[in-house]
């Protein structure tokens, strides 16, 4: 069998400047899974190769920069976490209005440019390139804008940052990669978060924030690794009925894979999605018992949607953050405007993925019981 996704092409242009060899194992597992299990189209193979190569080039630039520049101590981070589709993106954008917060933008993650200045010609050219790439993705997966609109200057979640260590759930969205998913479910993500922190250190050379604001649903299963790299980290955990979340995740996965694969198996998506998040939640419930509860603030999704600013005030009070009038005013303005986070109604049915509300509740019973969700 001739492999369409080749490691040689993925590594092209990295100038053997990728630092530690921690990427060898995940790269090997991922490329094998993509070639033997994913059933990618020719375009899908080219797109995935381009994505992986771009991420490793970013890693190479991070490594090169940090070899030549002495970074300062990184600003403390606030991590937003919770199941996908549980309001994490909404809270992420809301808190992003606080001038004390800084999040990596999508264009910065895709095309790190530490020597470009705000509104410079170099920055504008990079943003134009990112917009071109996004327009291609939106043509390929037009329904993506209904569920997760992406703009170049939007803050982006961390799944593309841990990808610098080739440990990222994003590849599972793109293609059926069960061997790689099994690897992720059991992997130690310390190297992924090490590169995550190194990336932020490069961004701090341009602008050092009071606090990094970061978000990724997968953070729920990696508290020990995060705290190993970021001992000052705090966490906001949004809780939403997994019956709502799991169906939405399955639908997004199906839509994205349809743009890259010859065939999409919705029953396989339902089974693997439920198993993945069951594993993630169980790891989280075990790990959080060993962490000071002062570092975690819990929010119910319904409370966040009903009164967002009340929950923001509670978050700031819990962590003893300053809730300035400037930040409050900016958040109120954000809430008063039409949302850019959705462009339409996302419709899905659990049954389309071989699932039911009873099955989800049974498998995730421990999480339901722990957080009194029914």
The confidence score (pLDDT) of residue 330 equals 97
Q: Which two tokens stand for residue 129?
A: 């390139």
Tell me the torsion sign for CA atoms 253, 185, 88, 237: positive
Residue 16 pLDDT greater than 90, yes or no = no
Residue 111 pLDDT greater than 90, yes or no = no
The confidence score (pLDDT) of residue 372 equals 62
The confidence score (pLDDT) of residue 124 equals 79
Which DSSP string do the residues of 316-373 spell out, in sequence order?
Answer: HHHHT----HHHHHHHHHHHHSPPSS-SS-----GGGGT--HHHHHHHTHHHHHHTT-
Reported pTM: 0.91
Percent of the chain with pLDDT over 90: 66
Q: Which two tokens stand for residue 57?
A: 């080039």
CB 12 within 8 A of CB 18: no
The confidence score (pLDDT) of residue 128 equals 84
207-262 pLDDT per residue, tens? 899 999 999 999 999 999 999 999 999 999 999 989 888 998 899 899 889 889 99
143-176 pLDDT per residue, tens? 666 556 677 788 889 999 999 999 999 899 999 9
Which of 295, 62, 13, 16 is closest to 161 using CA atoms?
62
Close Cβ partners of 86 (under 8 Å, ≥ 6 residues apart): 217, 238, 239, 240, 244, 245, 301
40-62 pLDDT per residue, tens? 999 899 989 999 999 999 999 99
Cβ count within 10 A of residue 46? 15
Residue 373 pLDDT greater than 60, yes or no = no
DSSP 3-state assignment of 110? helix
169-215 pLDDT per residue, tens? 989 999 999 999 999 999 999 999 999 999 999 999 888 999 999 99
**Domains in the chain, please, with CATH?**
7-370 (3.40.50.300)
316-344 pLDDT per residue, tens? 999 999 999 999 999 999 999 887 666 55
The confidence score (pLDDT) of residue 2 equals 43
């Amino acid at each position: 069998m001739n492999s369409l996704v080749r490691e040689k092409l993925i590594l092209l242009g990295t100038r053997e400047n990728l630092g530690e060899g921690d990427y060898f194992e995940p790269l090997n597992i991922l490329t094998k899974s993509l070639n033997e299990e994913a059933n990618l189209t020719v375009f899908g193979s080219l797109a995935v190769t381009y994505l992986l190569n771009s991420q490793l080039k970013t890693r190479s630039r991070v490594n090169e920069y940090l070899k030549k520049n002495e970074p300062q101590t990184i600003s403390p981070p606030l991590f937003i976490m919770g199941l996908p589709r549980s309001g994490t993106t909404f809270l992420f954008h809301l808190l992003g209005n606080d001038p004390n917060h800084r999040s990596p933008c999508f264009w910065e993650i895709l095309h790190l440019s530490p020597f470009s200045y705000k509104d410079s010609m170099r920055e504008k050219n990079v943003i134009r390139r990112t917009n071109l790439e996004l327009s291609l993705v939106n043509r390929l997966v037009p329904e993506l804008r209904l569920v997760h609109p992406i703009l170049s200057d939007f803050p982006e979640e961390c799944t593309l940052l841990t990808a610098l260590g080739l440990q990222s759930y994003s590849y599972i969205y793109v293609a059926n990669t069960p061997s790689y998913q099994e690897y992720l479910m059991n992997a130690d993500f310390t190297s992924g978060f090490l590169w995550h922190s190194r990336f932020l250190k490069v961004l701090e050379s341009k602008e050092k924030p009071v606090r990094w604001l970061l978000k990724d649903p997968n953070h729920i299963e990696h508290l020990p690794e995060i705290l190993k790299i970021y001992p000052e980290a705090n966490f906001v955990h949004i809780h939403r009925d997994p019956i709502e979340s799991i169906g939405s995740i399955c639908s997004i996965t199906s839509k994205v894979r349809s743009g890259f694969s010859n065939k999409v198996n919705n029953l396989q998506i339902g089974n693997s999605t439920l198993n993945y998040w069951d594993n993630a939640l169980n790891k989280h419930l075990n790990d959080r018992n060993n962490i000071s509860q002062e570092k975690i603030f819990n929010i119910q999704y319904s409370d966040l949607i009903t009164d967002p600013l009340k929950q923001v005030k509670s978050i700031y009070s819990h962590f003893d953050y300053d809730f300035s009038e400037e930040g409050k005013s900016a958040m109120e303005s954000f809430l008063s405007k039409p949302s850019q986070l959705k462009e339409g109604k996302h419709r899905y049915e659990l049954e389309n993925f071989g699932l039911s509300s009873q099955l989800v509740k049974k498998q995730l019973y421990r999480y339901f019981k722990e957080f009194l969700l029914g």
